[in-house]
Amino acid sequence: MKAGGVSVSEEGLMRMDYELLTQAHDYKQYKGSFDVVERLEVPNCVYVRFEGAPEDIHYAHSKLDLYFYENEISSTGESYSVMVEDSEHHCVVDIFRTVGSL
Protein backbone atom coordinates (compact mmCIF):
# COMPACT_ATOMS: atom_id res chain seq x y z
CA MET A 1 0.00 0.00 0.00
CA LYS A 2 1.18 3.51 -0.76
CA ALA A 3 -0.16 6.10 1.67
CA GLY A 4 -0.03 9.73 0.60
CA GLY A 5 -1.67 11.43 3.56
CA VAL A 6 -5.00 12.79 4.71
CA SER A 7 -6.68 16.09 3.91
CA VAL A 8 -9.80 17.73 5.34
CA SER A 9 -12.06 19.94 3.22
CA GLU A 10 -13.67 23.19 4.39
CA GLU A 11 -16.89 21.19 4.85
CA GLY A 12 -15.07 18.85 7.26
CA LEU A 13 -14.91 15.90 4.86
CA MET A 14 -11.81 13.75 5.24
CA ARG A 15 -9.98 12.42 2.19
CA MET A 16 -7.43 9.63 2.48
CA ASP A 17 -4.91 9.40 -0.35
CA TYR A 18 -3.66 5.85 -0.87
CA GLU A 19 -3.04 3.24 -3.54
CA LEU A 20 -3.21 -0.51 -3.18
CA LEU A 21 -0.35 -2.27 -4.91
CA THR A 22 0.11 -5.99 -5.41
CA GLN A 23 2.93 -8.10 -6.74
CA ALA A 24 1.98 -10.27 -9.70
CA HIS A 25 4.26 -12.94 -11.11
CA ASP A 26 2.80 -12.79 -14.60
CA TYR A 27 1.94 -9.09 -14.48
CA LYS A 28 1.66 -8.58 -18.26
CA GLN A 29 -1.65 -10.46 -18.35
CA TYR A 30 -3.21 -7.70 -16.19
CA LYS A 31 -2.27 -4.74 -18.40
CA GLY A 32 -5.80 -4.45 -19.79
CA SER A 33 -7.42 -4.30 -16.36
CA PHE A 34 -4.93 -2.47 -14.13
CA ASP A 35 -2.11 0.05 -14.26
CA VAL A 36 0.98 -2.13 -14.42
CA VAL A 37 4.58 -1.20 -13.73
CA GLU A 38 7.39 -3.65 -14.24
CA ARG A 39 9.40 -2.35 -11.31
CA LEU A 40 8.69 0.13 -8.52
CA GLU A 41 11.66 2.06 -7.18
CA VAL A 42 11.34 4.68 -4.47
CA PRO A 43 14.67 6.34 -3.63
CA ASN A 44 15.56 8.08 -0.36
CA CYS A 45 13.48 6.21 2.20
CA VAL A 46 13.77 5.36 5.88
CA TYR A 47 12.78 1.77 6.60
CA VAL A 48 11.44 -0.10 9.62
CA ARG A 49 10.30 -3.72 9.92
CA PHE A 50 7.34 -4.47 12.17
CA GLU A 51 6.70 -7.95 13.56
CA GLY A 52 3.75 -8.49 15.88
CA ALA A 53 0.00 -8.24 16.26
CA PRO A 54 -1.64 -6.34 13.38
CA GLU A 55 -3.41 -3.99 15.79
CA ASP A 56 0.00 -2.78 17.07
CA ILE A 57 1.38 -1.63 13.72
CA HIS A 58 0.81 1.99 14.75
CA TYR A 59 3.92 1.62 16.96
CA ALA A 60 6.08 1.22 13.86
CA HIS A 61 4.62 4.40 12.35
CA SER A 62 5.22 6.23 15.65
CA LYS A 63 8.82 4.98 15.65
CA LEU A 64 9.31 6.44 12.17
CA ASP A 65 7.70 9.74 13.26
CA LEU A 66 10.10 9.95 16.21
CA TYR A 67 13.13 9.08 14.06
CA PHE A 68 12.27 11.81 11.55
CA TYR A 69 11.72 14.31 14.37
CA GLU A 70 14.91 13.49 16.31
CA ASN A 71 17.05 13.60 13.17
CA GLU A 72 15.36 16.72 11.76
CA ILE A 73 14.39 14.94 8.56
CA SER A 74 11.35 15.99 6.58
CA SER A 75 9.15 13.55 4.73
CA THR A 76 7.29 13.93 1.47
CA GLY A 77 4.30 12.43 3.29
CA GLU A 78 4.35 9.17 1.36
CA SER A 79 4.90 5.78 2.91
CA TYR A 80 4.88 2.27 1.51
CA SER A 81 3.86 -0.81 3.49
CA VAL A 82 4.87 -4.24 2.19
CA MET A 83 3.17 -7.24 3.81
CA VAL A 84 5.78 -9.97 4.21
CA GLU A 85 3.60 -12.25 6.38
CA ASP A 86 -0.02 -11.80 7.32
CA SER A 87 -2.31 -13.79 9.61
CA GLU A 88 -5.04 -12.91 12.06
CA HIS A 89 -2.73 -12.67 15.09
CA HIS A 90 0.73 -11.98 13.63
CA CYS A 91 2.13 -9.99 10.74
CA VAL A 92 5.47 -8.88 9.35
CA VAL A 93 5.37 -5.56 7.52
CA ASP A 94 8.19 -3.54 5.96
CA ILE A 95 7.38 0.18 6.08
CA PHE A 96 9.27 2.70 3.94
CA ARG A 97 8.77 6.45 4.43
CA THR A 98 10.08 8.82 1.80
CA VAL A 99 12.56 11.54 2.75
CA GLY A 100 11.81 15.08 1.59
CA SER A 101 15.02 16.80 2.71
CA LEU A 102 17.75 16.40 5.30
pTM above the 0.85 mark?
no
Share of residues in the chain with pLDDT > 70 (%): 95
Helix (H, G, I), strand (E, B) or coil at 76: strand
Which range of residues forms the domain containing residue 77?
A: 2-101
Question: What's the total number of domains in the chain?
Answer: 1
- Interior angle at CA 4, CA 57 and CA 35, nearest 5: 105
pLDDT tens, residue by residue, 47-68: 999 999 999 999 999 999 999 9
Mean of per-residue pLDDT scores for the chain: 87
| Residue 21 to residue 76: CA distance in whole angstroms | 19
**Which secondary structure element, helix H or strand E, spans residue 60, and what is its range?**
helix 58-70
pLDDT tens, residue by residue, 80-90: 888 899 999 99
DSSP conformation class of 28: G
Contact of 43 with 80, CB cutoff 8 Å: no
